A and B are shown apart, each in its own frame.
Chain A
Amino acid sequence: MNEKVKILAVGRNQEILETVVRLINANDAWEGKGAVTDKEAVQAFDHEVFDLILLCNGISSDSEDNLRAYFLAHRPATKIIQHYGGGSGLLTAEIYEALAG
């Protein structure tokens, strides 16, 4: 049995983030986790290896820069993309595109 693709979603709006994670987990091949704060995101990243990181709503430029720098410094192959739209119709295609890239 193939391992699931592990995805970390980081976003400031708890309710939207929960929607994003729920939609990720609706795909049997994917396993999603959410982090609201940068600290939570770093803790999750340190705890397990993610195939893809989605940067969602409300993340400031400084936070984004810091998170990207941390993730790439520790695992340079980590794929990081901006998720637009809030867990809506774009999520599936965004993830497929990122995993194929």
Chain B
Amino acid sequence: MSNTILHKANQRGHANHGWLNSFHTFSFGGYYNPQAMNFGALRVLNDDTVSGGMGFGRHPHDNMEIISIPLDGDLEHQDSMGNTAIIRKGDIQAMSAGTGIYHSEKNAHENQQVKFLQIWIYPNQKNVEPRYDQLTLNLNDRHNRLQQVLSPNKDDEGIWIYQNAWFHMGKFDKGVATNYTIKGGKNNGVYAFVLNGDISINQQQLNTRDGFGIWE
């Protein structure tokens, strides 16, 4: 792997709307950085904190794979396909917006924050029928290993999306190392985002909320 890109946490875009405090690894909303548009099909990596009782009101999307991963607190989801759900820490949610959907995501609680990752992936097919999925993950399965939480395959571990992409999550004790073999062929790379702590990937030191991409 010869190419890398480092996105330091403190160099991300930032928007504080009061009810929403959001950090953008890639250009989003009013944050435009031509050097940080995407990493392959990964187009949005937002690190969001939403105040109690607040949230994103009903709004549309199309042609995008949208993944939400609560890190702390619970999200209340509603969409135009008739889905209503609570997504909790340890869950993962995916929507294929396809031909068009409307949805809302709000903090399920009045008196505590919800923190979550909002990740958008370009789809590999346009105008698919919209779909919604969520899954409760076994948090023990990521202790000192990379747990697959998303893939392109309906029958594989985790949820699936319309893209040749995989997500893994891991929680590692001090000193523990692991190897990751890139999936999906030689045109794929890997992008790591540190939720908490200090790690090293291929000699690159990374700290909380840093992002690091590697590709051939």
Interface residues of chain A, those whose CB is within 8 Å of chain B, are 11-13, 15-16, 19, 56-60, 82, 84-90, 92-93, 96-97, 100
Q: Given that A13-B100, A85-B120 are known contacts, is A92 also in contact with B62, CB under 8 Å in the complex? A: no
Which secondary structure characterizes the binding site on chain A?
loop
Question: Which residues does chain A contribute within 8 Å of B120, judged by CB atoms?
Answer: 85, 90
Residue of A nearest to B98 (CB): A57
Query: Mind listing 21 A-B residue pairs with CB under 8 Å?
Result: A13-B99, A19-B59, A57-B62, A58-B62, A59-B127, A60-B127, A82-B126, A85-B61, A86-B62, A86-B64, A86-B100, A88-B60, A88-B64, A89-B44, A90-B43, A92-B32, A93-B31, A93-B32, A96-B34, A97-B34, A97-B37
Bound Cα distance from A88 to B100, whole angstroms: 12
> Which of A12, A13, A88, A92 is packed against the most chain B CB atoms within 10 Å?
A88
Quick one: given A16-B62, A58-B99, are A93 and B28 in contact (CB under 8 Å)? yes
Of the candidates A11, A15, A59, A89, the one having the most CB atoms from chain B within 10 angstroms of its own CB is A89
- Point out the residues of chain A lying under 8 angstroms from B29, CB to CB: 89, 92
What are the 9 closest A-B residue pairs judged by CB atoms, nearest first? A57-B62, A93-B27, A86-B62, A86-B61, A89-B28, A13-B100, A16-B60, A86-B60, A89-B29
A13 to B99, CA, bound (A): 8
Are A16 and B37 in contact (CB-based, < 8 A)?
no
Give complex CA distance A13, B100 in Å.
7
Residues of A within 8 A of B122 (CB): 84
Q: Are B127 and A19 in contact (CB under 8 A)?
A: no
- B43 close to A84 (CB less than 8 A): yes
CA distance A96 to B29 in the complex (A): 12
In the complex with contacts A58-B62, A87-B60, A92-B34 CB distance below 8 A = no
Instruction: Given A13-B99, A58-B127, answer yes or no on A88-B61 (Cβ-Cβ < 8 Å).
Output: yes
B32 contacts A96, C-beta separation under 8 Å: yes
Please, how many angstroms separate the alpha-carbon atoms of A92 and B122 in the complex? Answer: 17
Q: Which residues of chain B are near A93, meaning CB under 8 Å?
A: 27-28, 31-32, 37
